Chains A and B, each alone.
Chain A
Amino acid sequence: MKMTPLAVVVGVLLILAAVTFVVILMPYAHTNQTVPSEIFRQRTAAEAAGRDIYIANGCVYCHTQSIRSVDWGLGAERIAQAGDYLADHPILLGSQRTGPDLSQAGGEHPDDWHLAHFINPRYTRPLSIMPPFAFLGDEQLERLIRYVQSLGLKAADARMARQAYWKAEAVRAYEAGPDANVQWLHDQIPQPWRDLPNPYPTSEAGLARGQKIYQDFCLGCHGPVGDGLGPAQPWIYPPPFNFTILKNREISGGILYFQIMNGITGTAMPYFKRELESEKIWDVGNFVAVYFIDDSDAGMPPKGIPASYEAQGEIEVSGSQ
């Protein structure tokens, strides 16, 4: 074959045209007929303005908006559909997941959690490597929060409505004073959990593990001594809970477990059931009970058959009964 300039230039252009027809125009004809998914709605002006801030600051380089069938974690309840993206111009699928996927981030946390998190991400998430965004200023942060709270569209709206309802309840309880607040918090826990002691006895190793979990997940809000004065506290209302008031207020290992597992929607307390498995929750709960409440029910009956690793003495005592 003789490679004349014409053959090279016209040849490659013809190939590009043919390939463009196959891989761009044909899929375009296919995908631009996409119908809206059941969660789709248009964005409000404030949400769209927040999206511009999200784009301008390159959030897309660390946060995907693309939930796959293999995913766990934030948003993984719903696999992405083409009809979710009909208002995305440009689409922000992302290519790196340095931070969590945000497809369904809307309504996962209340606004005040997001504000503290944007001021400095380590205030709410001590291990985060996200940059602080305080430089954006209040006005832009508010718009950015509106956008984040819209992620998931109609599904986010439903979550936001739940946040708003429980926020009002939580604020009312908090403002009624410590006794009423603790009572209200306990009343939200199913009775069997309230009666349940921490099934594992206190051990040095368990406390050390609990402390590690506390530092990685809890310290930003509840503070290093559990008094609710962590660095996120100034931005959060109702403020982070002060564990030191719980003594003699009918606290149990089960209550702590339930609250860590499910969070307290409406407040900045997130659920941790996706991030922490059972032993980690029991351990951090017992760390809080031993060091901050000074009232631990760990290992007290009723506790069922002891776990096989528990100390020898325990097993002999239980076996003799």
Chain B
Amino acid sequence: MGRLLRQRPAQRFLFNANGEMILASRNGTALFGEYATAKAFIVTSAFWMMVATFFGLLGATQLIAPDLTANIGGIVFGRVRPTHVNLVLFGFVTPGLLGAAFYYIPRLLGVPLYSERLGVATALVWNVAVAAGVITLAMGMTQGREYAELIWPIDILIAAGFLLLSFNFIMTVRRRREPILYVSVWYVLAAVVLTACTYAMGNVIWRPDSGALVGIPDAILLWFYGHNIFGLLLTPLSIGVAYYVIPRATGNPLYSHTLSLLGFWSLIVIYTHIGTHHLLQVPVPTWLKVVAIVDSIAMVIPVSAFLINIWYTAKGKLGEIHADIGAKFVFTGTIMYFFVSFQGSLMSLPDVQRVTHFNNWVVGHAHIGVLGFAGMIALGGIYYVLPRISGRPLHSRFLADFQYWMVLIGMVGFTVVLTIAGLIQGNAWLNGETVYRILTQFHVYYVIRAGLGLLIFSSSLLGFYNIARSLPAKRGASA
């Protein structure tokens, strides 16, 4: 820090002497280097992916060996699980997708980011919030609501983070030289602006003591918020990356502007309606369940608009996609998006849900969505932009490829074993078996799941090493 402060006057002199650089100096590039915010979020993502998948592995292990960590209160399963989920959502996937966005937003708009200084500060706030989340959850401080566990002070940090992101992106858009907003920009703007709202609303931040409403309205609000974490945060940010990477990697123009428009607006309209499909077997108003089911089926509109658009863009160029490890991750993510969306629409049907609700089927579904779709695309975004930020190839293309296969095998394996376990549970329950009676019947699938978790955790170690070695060795300030 002292070294930085000493350097500042000299740099300012340098930049004052060069009219072109003044803007860069003011937005913090001089201090932090080019794409400093992108780098900060990429490192954030790679680091927390290790911690997040470790907690996943720990939880999976506890389910097969519950006395292994007996009476270590801080890592009792009920505290490990929310730590895993929050770290994946807010530590690994969201920052990874944002890291790519902080690269492509300035590129698409033809201007530097409004403020790299603000961006780096946002990343710092973000990391403080995530670290505080890990510590408070281990201490048993939780709001007890899925995806909304983090306590009020951390909620404020995260909501502030989304506001800072919104401000930075909007100001960058206002200063743009490129008049037309590309589709990726719409999605990024929508994601950060809407999530600032839904995060504050879903965490009931006007009630700091509990962060909850009372009774059934609390359940309705919680799942509205919970599903919007996927629908209005992970999905639009992932789609934004795909819309950037796939045309760039293939060299093809985007297939259809009309489909872009249809996909964007229908996603915002339809996805926001469907949270109550988590509550079909709960005494909530029937008309609300009908809305949730109808819109869950209607999700085929935004999903197919996006997929047709992106797949036709890639048509005939799969070789180019295969050649770029970033694009390979991203394209695989779009295939997983097809599966998770198709499955999700089916799962909203009451007859299907009678079997799938409350069991491991849903855990499998969540892993296709968050790891297979959004996580794959986050990693793809990182690997696509890293060489373009650093100006040199990835430290190891082989390690990135190896990580790709580890994540892919782990995630597909998860889906297979958890779906089997879920079908065993769901059908046995419907047949009148008690929960206790069938615990042993899916134990073997839990063992395989923990093995696959070890695969995914190991892949995150490789990924962190590879990403850290691929970053520019020095800050780009003096370039």
- Complex CA gap A94/B435 in Å reads 15
Q: Could you say which residues of chain A place their CB within 8 Å of the CB of B144?
A: 55-56, 58, 60, 90, 92
Evaluate contact between B278 and A89: CB separation under 8 angstroms.
no
Residue on A with the closest CB to B434? A73
Which residue of A61, A71, A88, A133 is within 8 Å of B82 (Cβ)?
A61
Q: Could you say which residues of chain A place their CB within 8 Å of the CB of B70?
A: 120, 131-132, 134
Which residue of B62, B221, B278, B429 is within 8 Å of A95 (Cβ)?
B278
- Complex CA gap A131/B81 in Å reads 13
Which residue of B71, B273, B288, B440 is within 8 Å of A19 (Cβ)?
B273
**With A58-B76, A61-B78, A88-B215: A72-B197 Cβ-Cβ less than 8 Å:** no
B478 at the interface (CB under 8 A from A): no
Which residue of B186, B224, B268 is within 8 Å of A24 (Cβ)?
B224
B190 at the interface (CB under 8 A from A): yes
Least CB distance from A133 to B in Å reads: 7
Residue on B with the closest CB to A12? B190
Least CB distance from A304 to B in Å reads: 26
Least CB distance from A303 to B in Å reads: 28
Q: Which of B27-35, B312-320, B358-366, B462-470 contacts A (4 or more CB under 8 A)?
A: B358-366
A13 at the interface (CB under 8 A from B): yes
- Complex CA gap A32/B186 in Å reads 37
B284 at the interface (CB under 8 A from A): yes
B214 at the interface (CB under 8 A from A): yes
Evaluate contact between B214 and A86: CB separation under 8 angstroms.
yes
Q: Could you say which residues of chain A place their CB within 8 Å of the CB of B186?
A: 3, 8
Evaluate contact between B436 and A275: CB separation under 8 angstroms.
yes
**With A58-B76, A72-B429, A89-B213: A120-B67 Cβ-Cβ less than 8 Å:** yes
- Complex CA gap A15/B228 in Å reads 13
- Complex CA gap A244/B269 in Å reads 69
Which residue of A28, A72, A90, A131 is within 8 Å of B211 (Cβ)?
A90
- Complex CA gap A76/B137 in Å reads 32
Residue on A with the closest CB to B215? A85
Q: Could you say which residues of chain B place their CB within 8 Å of the CB of A305?
A: none
- Complex CA gap A133/B217 in Å reads 31
Q: Could you say which residues of chain B place their CB within 8 Å of the CB of A101?
A: 435
Evaluate contact between A5 and B282: CB separation under 8 angstroms.
no
Evaluate contact between A132 and B66: CB separation under 8 angstroms.
yes
Evaluate contact between B219 and A93: CB separation under 8 angstroms.
yes
Residue on B with the closest CB to A60? B144
**With A5-B170, A27-B285: A34-B358 Cβ-Cβ less than 8 Å:** no
Which residue of B82, B170, B278, B281 is within 8 Å of A68 (Cβ)?
B281
Interface size classification for chain B:
35 or more
Residue on B with the closest CB to A275? B434
Evaluate contact between A66 and B439: CB separation under 8 angstroms.
no
Evaluate contact between B288 and A27: CB separation under 8 angstroms.
yes
Q: Could you say which residues of chain A place their CB within 8 Å of the CB of B64?
A: 129
- Residues in A1-45 with C-beta less than 8 Å from chain B: 1, 3-5, 8-9, 11-13, 15-16, 19-20, 22-24, 27-28, 30-32, 34
Evaluate contact between B436 and A5: CB separation under 8 angstroms.
no
Q: Could you say which residues of chain B place their CB within 8 Å of the CB of A191?
A: none
**With A1-B261, A97-B358: A131-B435 Cβ-Cβ less than 8 Å:** no
Q: Could you say which residues of chain A place their CB within 8 Å of the CB of B145?
A: 90
Q: Could you say which residues of chain B place their CB within 8 Å of the CB of A71?
A: 429
Evaluate contact between B217 and A136: CB separation under 8 angstroms.
no
Evaluate contact between B143 and A90: CB separation under 8 angstroms.
yes
Least CB distance from A52 to B in Å reads: 9
Evaluate contact between B142 and A128: CB separation under 8 angstroms.
no
A57 at the interface (CB under 8 A from B): yes
Evaluate contact between A129 and B78: CB separation under 8 angstroms.
no
The proximity string for B residues 35-76 relative to A, scoring 1 for CB distances below 8 Å and 0 otherwise, is 000000000000000000000000000111011011111001
Evaluate contact between B77 and A61: CB separation under 8 angstroms.
yes
Q: Could you say which residues of chain A place their CB within 8 Å of the CB of B285?
A: 27, 30-31
Q: Could you say which residues of chain A place their CB within 8 Å of the CB of B213?
A: 89-90
Evaluate contact between B363 and A99: CB separation under 8 angstroms.
no
- Residues in A110-144 with C-beta less than 8 Å from chain B: 120-122, 125, 127-136
B174 at the interface (CB under 8 A from A): yes
Evaluate contact between B281 and A70: CB separation under 8 angstroms.
yes
**With A8-B181, A58-B79, A125-B436: A23-B215 Cβ-Cβ less than 8 Å:** no
Evaluate contact between A89 and B284: CB separation under 8 angstroms.
no
Least CB distance from A175 to B in Å reads: 32
Which residue of B189, B218, B435 is within 8 Å of A91 (Cβ)?
B218
Least CB distance from B1 to A in Å reads: 36
Q: A32-B215, A73-B434, A135-B71 are in contact. List 4 more A-B contacts (CB 8 A).
A: A88-B215, A90-B144, A93-B279, A128-B436
Of the A-B pairs whose beta carbons lie under 8 Å apart in the complex, a sample of 26, sorted by A's number, is A13-B194, A15-B265, A19-B269, A23-B224, A23-B272, A27-B285, A27-B288, A31-B220, A56-B144, A57-B78, A57-B79, A58-B77, A64-B358, A66-B282, A71-B429, A72-B434, A73-B433, A73-B434, A89-B214, A89-B215, A93-B219, A97-B359, A97-B425, A122-B66, A136-B73, A274-B434
Binding site for B on A (CB under 8 A): 1, 3-5, 8-9, 11-13, 15-16, 19-20, 22-24, 27-28, 30-32, 34, 55-62, 64, 66, 68-74, 80-82, 85-101, 120-122, 125, 127-136, 216, 274-275
Which 6 pairs across A and B sit closest by C-beta, in order of nearness? Answer: A58-B78, A90-B212, A56-B140, A55-B144, A135-B71, A97-B358
Binding site for A on B (CB under 8 A): 62-64, 66-67, 69-73, 76-79, 81-82, 140-146, 170, 173-174, 180-181, 183, 185-186, 189-190, 193-194, 197-198, 201, 210-222, 224, 232, 261, 265, 268-269, 272-273, 275-276, 278-279, 281-285, 288, 291-292, 354, 357-359, 362-363, 425, 429-430, 432-437, 439-440
